[in-house]
Structure 1
Amino acid sequence: MFEFAWPWVFIVLPLPLLVRWLPARQQQQSVALRVPNLTDSLETQTSQPKLNYWKLLLATLIWLCLVGAAARPQWLGEPMSIPAEGRDLMVAVDLSGSMKIDDMQINGRQVDRLMMIKYVLSEFIQRRVGDRLGLILFADTAYLQAPLTYDRNTVTQLLEESVIGLVGEQTAIGDAVGLAVKRFEQKKDSNRVLVLLTDGQNTAGNISPAQATELAKANKITVYTIGVGADQMQVQSFFGTRTVNPSQELDEKMLSHIAEQTGGRYFRARDAQDLEHIYAILDELEPIARESRQMRPLQALFFYPLAVALVLSLLIAILPLAHSIKHRWRRS
Structure 2
Amino acid sequence: MLPANFEIGYPWMFWLLPLPILLFFILPPLRIKSPSLQYPGFEKALDYTGDKPRRSALVKRRNFFNWLILILGWVLVVMTLSSPQLVGEPQMKVKTSRNFLITADISFSMAQKDWEVKGEKVRRWDAVKSLMHDFIEKRKGDRMGLVFFATNAYVQAPFTPDLGTVDQMLEEADVGMAGQMTHIGKAITKGIDMFDQDTIKTKVMLLLTDGVDAGTDVLPLDGADMAKQDSVIIYTIGIGNPGDSGSDLDEKTLQQIAEMTGGRYFLAKDAEQLQKIYQVVDTLEPIEYEEEEHRPVTLLYMYPLAVAMMLIFMGSLLNNLVSVIKNGMNKDGDV
For the criterion TM > 0.5, the same-fold answer is yes
- Kept in 1, the 8 Å contact 2:100–2:143? The answer is yes
Q: Which amino acid aligns with 1:94?
A: A
- Are 2:72 and 1:75 equivalent residues in the alignment? no
Q: Secondary structure at the match of 2:231?
A: coil
Matches within 5 A, 1:280-291: 282=281, 286=284, 288=286
Alignment root-mean-square deviation, CA: 5.4
2:297 paired residue number: 300
Q: Which amino acid aligns with 2:235?
A: Y
Q: Secondary structure at the match of 1:90?
A: strand
Alpha-carbon spacing, 1:264–1:4, altered in 2? closer, same or farther (3 Å)? closer
- Are 2:274 and 1:275 equivalent residues in the alignment? yes
Distance in 1, matches of 2:6 and 2:268, equals: 55
Alpha-carbon spacing, 1:165–1:219, altered in 2? closer, same or farther (3 Å)? same
- Kept in 2, the 8 Å contact 1:100–1:164? The answer is no
- Kept in 2, the 8 Å contact 1:135–1:159? The answer is no
- Kept in 2, the 8 Å contact 1:58–1:316? The answer is no
> Which structure's CA Rg is the greater one?
2
Deviation at 1:259, TM superposition (A): 2.7
- Kept in 1, the 8 Å contact 2:146–2:166? The answer is no
- Kept in 1, the 8 Å contact 2:77–2:304? The answer is no
1:237 paired residue number: none
Distance in 2, matches of 1:177 and 1:264, equals: 15
Q: Which of 22, 28, 31 does residue 19 from structure 1 map onto?
A: 22
Q: Which of 166, 178, 201 does residue 170 from structure 1 map onto?
A: 178
- Are 2:233 and 1:222 equivalent residues in the alignment? yes
Stretch deviating more after TM superposition (222-231 or 120-129) = 120-129
Alpha-carbon spacing, 1:274–1:55, altered in 2? closer, same or farther (3 Å)? closer
Alpha-carbon spacing, 1:53–1:280, altered in 2? closer, same or farther (3 Å)? closer
Q: Which amino acid aligns with 1:299?
A: P
Distance in 2, matches of 1:45 and 1:104, equals: 99
Distance in 1, matches of 2:237 and 2:73, equals: 74
Alpha-carbon spacing, 1:162–1:120, altered in 2? closer, same or farther (3 Å)? closer
1:155 paired residue number: 163
Q: Which amino acid aligns with 1:68?
A: S
Distance in 1, matches of 2:312 and 2:93, equals: 48
Deviation at 1:218, TM superposition (A): 0.8
- Are 2:102 and 1:102 equivalent residues in the alignment? no
Which structure 1 segments of 5+ residues have no match? 29-43, 234-243, 328-332
- Kept in 2, the 8 Å contact 1:118–1:160? The answer is no
Alpha-carbon spacing, 1:157–1:114, altered in 2? closer, same or farther (3 Å)? farther
Alpha-carbon spacing, 1:155–1:95, altered in 2? closer, same or farther (3 Å)? farther
Q: Which amino acid aligns with 1:221?
A: V
Alpha-carbon spacing, 1:299–1:80, altered in 2? closer, same or farther (3 Å)? closer
Q: Which of 174, 182, 185 does residue 196 from structure 2 map onto?
A: 182
Distance in 1, matches of 2:307 and 2:169, equals: 52
- Are 2:9 and 1:9 equivalent residues in the alignment? no
Deviation at 1:222, TM superposition (A): 2.0
Q: Which amino acid aligns with 1:74?
A: L
- Kept in 2, the 8 Å contact 1:124–1:279? The answer is yes
Alpha-carbon spacing, 1:7–1:182, altered in 2? closer, same or farther (3 Å)? same
**TM-score between both structures, scaled by the size of structure 1:** 0.58
Distance in 2, matches of 1:122 and 1:264, equals: 22
Alpha-carbon spacing, 1:169–1:255, altered in 2? closer, same or farther (3 Å)? farther
Deviation at 1:65, TM superposition (A): 4.1
**TM-score between both structures, scaled by the size of structure 2:** 0.58
1:90 paired residue number: 100
Distance in 2, matches of 1:179 and 1:315, equals: 72
Which structure 2 segments of 5+ residues have no match? 31-57, 180-185, 324-335
Q: Secondary structure at the match of 1:22?
A: helix
Distance in 2, matches of 1:252 and 1:232, equals: 11
Alpha-carbon spacing, 1:282–1:53, altered in 2? closer, same or farther (3 Å)? closer
Distance in 2, matches of 1:45 and 1:116, equals: 93
Deviation at 1:106, TM superposition (A): 1.6
Distance in 2, matches of 1:194 and 1:45, equals: 87
- Kept in 1, the 8 Å contact 2:14–2:79? The answer is no
Distance in 2, matches of 1:2 and 1:10, equals: 20
